[in-house]
Amino acid sequence: MFDGLKDKLNSFKENVEEEAEPVEAAEDADAETEPVDAEAVSGDAESAESEAEPEPEPEPESDEDDGGSDRGLMERAKLAATGKEVIEEDDLEGPLEELELALLSSDVEMSVAQEILRGIRENLIGETRSKVKTTGLVVEEALRDALIDVISVGQFDFEQRIAEADKPVSIIFTGVNGVGKTTTIAKLSQWLDDRGYSTVLANGDTYRAGANEQLQQHADTLDERLISHEQGSDPAAVIYDAVEYAEANDVDVVLGDTAGRLHTSNDLMDQLEKIDRVIEPDMTIFVDEAVAGQDAVNRAREFDDAAAIDGAVLTKADADPQGGAAISIAQVTGKPILFLGTGQDYDDLEPFDPEVIVDRLLGYDDEDADAGEAAA
């Protein structure tokens, strides 16, 4: 998952390290290659001492001070421990240009790519490192912080929201045709059931031929109840009946499907607005494919503008080498990605944890795997 973007981020870390480290190495090399005449240095030092006026020692500020001389030694010790400046603005210029191109080629939205670069500059320029930190580690930490800041916008705990909400909780799913809304509803039903929540499914996609049969098949497999009307019925009425059923039967969550639509489909958008007005759902979730990349980002923005969403689910994340949609959607809409679809089975639904995703992009999961193999 996101292997292409992972490789590009690792290239950026290596490029910055190559740019920043040789400065220190060159200075060390100069120090080694220029021999020092100890007697000349000693003579020069004695002459300088005889000509220079002695400087008065600073007086202690309080009785608790160890004295000016000791304070000077302590400050010098702190500077030595902090280390020297290793990353300058010039060091970042080339690698950042390459990173911007890499992000854009991975379908990251332009404003999001620029926000990532801004965060990296803010975290790195003028950065100093301790003697135990390599430049690569400093860059990695700055990159991790910038990525997390971008993709964690609006993030909330989905399960906690379900637990705290009045029951039944109504959730409406929307998006374009063919992106996996119906399968996502079935997966989320299984996910909720695994955590002790009962669900009822509602087919508000009343215009697509075969929609009832498709969702009914999932309901039968999961042993869940499906509320549906005849093809061509009012979608708001179907979901309203599902909410009524849930209230009468102490069902925790209503999961409502809707017809696939584009934001330019006025009639369908009117239906979605009617559902919002009649049902007042607790959440509206936008579903799209991770592999759609920039198209998914644009559609998320358009759907949120037309009828506010509360979060997104990206399907086919396991087949997405780029990761641009996962990086961009939260920043663009201000609404979080809640889940990733990672396969065809009902349990192939992964809660979206920004820190886990960023660690995966930076290869931390690979390091854990290598450590596990070494231990074995």
Question: What is d(CA 362, CA 357) in angstroms, rounded to the nearest whole number?
Answer: 9
78 is in an annotated binding site: no
Known binding residue 210? Answer is: no
Asked if residue 237 belongs to a known ligand binding site, the reply is no
For residue 31, say whether it is annotated as part of any ligand binding site: no
179 is in an annotated binding site: yes
Sort 7 into a burial class: Cβ within 10 Å, 0-12 / 13-18 / 19+: middle
Q: Is 183 marked as a binding-site residue?
A: no
Cis peptide bond prior to 321, omega within 30° of 0: no
287: three-class secondary structure by DSSP: strand
Known binding residue 182? Answer is yes
d(CA 151, CA 143): 12
Is 315 a known ligand-binding residue? yes
Q: Is 94 annotated as ligand-binding? A: no
Q: Is 174 annotated as a binding residue?
A: no
Asked if residue 176 belongs to a known ligand binding site, the reply is yes
Q: What is the rounded distance in angstroms from the CA atom of residue 202 to the CA atom of residue 254?
A: 7
DSSP assigned state of 353 = -
Write down the residue that tokens 């759907």 correspond to.
303
Whether 317 has a binding-site annotation, put simply, is: yes
Residue of 348, 288, 357 lying closest to 2 (CA atoms): 357
The CA R_g of the chain, rounded to the nearest whole Å, is 30
CA angle 200, 205, 352 (to 5 degrees): 60
Closest CA to 205 of 228, 179, 186, 171: 228
196 labeled binding residue: no
Ligand-binding annotation for 324, yes or no, is no
Please, which residues have CB within 8 angstroms of residue 99's CB and are 6 or more apart in sequence?
Answer: 8, 9, 12, 116, 117, 120
Query: Is 178 known to sit in a ligand binding site?
Result: yes
Q: Which of 141, 64, 126 is nearest to 92 (CA)?
A: 126
The reply to whether 132 sits in an annotated binding site is no
Burial 137-169 (b: 16+ CB within 10 A, else e): ebbbbbbbebbbbbbbbebeebeeebeeeebbb
Please check whether residue 219 is in contact with residue 225, taking contact to mean a CB–CB distance below 8 angstroms.
Answer: yes
175 annotated among ligand-binding-site residues? yes
- Binding site for GTP, by residue number, is 175-182, 257-261, 315-318
- Binding site, by residue number, is 175-182, 257-261, 315-318
